[in-house]
Structure 1
Amino acid sequence: MDAFTGEIRLFPFNFAPMDWAYCDGSTLSIQQYPALYSILGNIYGGTPGQNFQLPNLNGRAAMGAGNGPGLTQRPLGTAVGADVVTLLPGNIAPHTHALQVKDGTDSTSSLDEPNTSAYLSQPRNIRLYNTTAPVAGSPTLAVGTVGSTGQLTPGSSAPRSTVQPFLTLAYCICLNGEYPSRP
């Protein structure tokens, strides 16, 4: 199958075939590749009238240009996104987390099986990792050792990866092929 000038394909080997180049943002001379320049222009960078850049797909996923229902406009040649983001408290919507604590002052009897309103601090007849049941009523948290308030600060300011799972292949662009006719 012949390729069109400017066509981009994925290759599973470690070289760009003859008349193809890696989509790595390289700068090419307009004089050397006039057909490719007539298709790409300076969409991906370069100096008009002197040189142009190939698309740079290193570390990027390709996405269709334009927009769809409910989507934002994505012009051709626009690079968007980052490998790492830092989430700060100001980036998180205000919210609360309720916490209920049972200490040794509660006289409610222990349950053999937890239910939706039970606390897990006083198991009875539970053989989770052992064939012998624990002593009834234990463990009980000592009075005053568990507070009724606490604080959680969301967004630790640590950078977090946003990279989806991937397999690296070589994106290459055809430098000299069949010239695509415009409609």
Structure 2
Amino acid sequence: MSSPFVGEIQIFGFSFNPRNWAFCDGALLPISQNTSLFSLLGTIYGGNGQTSFQLPNLNGRAACRQGAGPGLSTRQIGQTFGNNEVTLTSSQIPAHSHALVAYSQPDAALKSGAPAVNSSFSTLNNSADRPFKAVPVNAKLAPQMIGPNASPNAPHANQQPYLAVNFCIALQGVYPTFP
């Protein structure tokens, strides 16, 4: 592996940080031992700027580019944002106004393995083998089957898909030069 740039962030799929790298876990580092990295990061992520500075904290977070994309709000370097949980109000959930009906289709020509008008998923002719044995044929099911699933004002998880990996920042390496 070639020498990384000082301050370069890489993802590692193992449980330890490699030599000359540190976890991006918000650790407080002494400036006197990390002058090159401090000259690049400063106190963007924290620290007093006299004796210490802080590394980025990507624990439980996703990295995001600074600036703004089309239709997106502007993000500043070092800014944290987002929520792990969100509470929706009833006005944010679309209303359903249809009933849910389960029935067995006796006409074999109208039985289908895919949704179609006047068709049924049930292919069972025998009343003992119907998928809803306790429900009479063509019965309306309980309205709460298509209603909201959670308690009112209860939060739901709002996280991206994730994989447990470690973000690490290079403490030593090639000092980046800018044109």
Q: Give the TM-score, by structure 1 length.
A: 0.70
Instruction: Report the 3-state secondary structure (helix = DSSP H, G, I; strand = E; otherwise coil) of the residue aligned with 1:56.
Output: coil
| Greater share of helix | 2
Q: CA deviation at 1:29?
A: 1.4
Residue 137 (structure 2) aligns with? 139
| CA displacement 1:4-54 (0-9 Å, x = unmatched) | 111111112221111110000001111221111110011111213231110
- Which residue in the other structure is 2:177 paired with? 181
Query: Secondary structure of the residue that 1:163 maps to in structure 2?
Result: coil
In angstroms, what is the RMSD of aligned CA positions? 3.5
CA distance in 2, matches of 1:180, 1:5: 7
- Contact 2:46–2:53, Cα closer than 8 Å, also in 1: yes
Aligned to 1:169: 165
| 8 Å CA contact 2:38, 2:53 repeated in 1 | yes
Match of 1:50 in 2: 51
Alignment partners' CA distance in 1, 2:45 and 2:124: 61
Q: 1:97 maps to what in 2?
A: 96
Q: TM-score, normalised by structure 2?
A: 0.71
- In structure 1, distance between residues paired with 2:97 and 2:119: 14
- In the alignment, structure 1 segments of 5+ residues that lack a partner are 103-109, 121-125, 147-151
Rounded Cα–Cα distance in structure 1 between residues aligned with 2:99 and 2:15: 58
Q: State how far apart, in whole Å, the 1-side matches of 2:161 and 2:21 are.
A: 27
Give 3-state SS (helix, strand or coil) of 2:32's partner. Answer: coil
Give the counterpart letter for 1:99 in structure 2: H
SS in structure 1 at match of 2:57: coil
Aligned length: 160
Q: Could you say what secondary structure the match of 2:10 adopts?
A: strand
Q: 1:10 to 1:119 in 2, by over 3 A?
A: closer
CA distance in 2 between counterparts of 1:35 and 1:18 reads 17
Matches within 5 A, 1:17-36: 17-36=18-37
Which has the larger Rg?
A: 1
Per the TM alignment, residue 98 of structure 1 is displaced from its structure 2 partner at its CA by 2.1
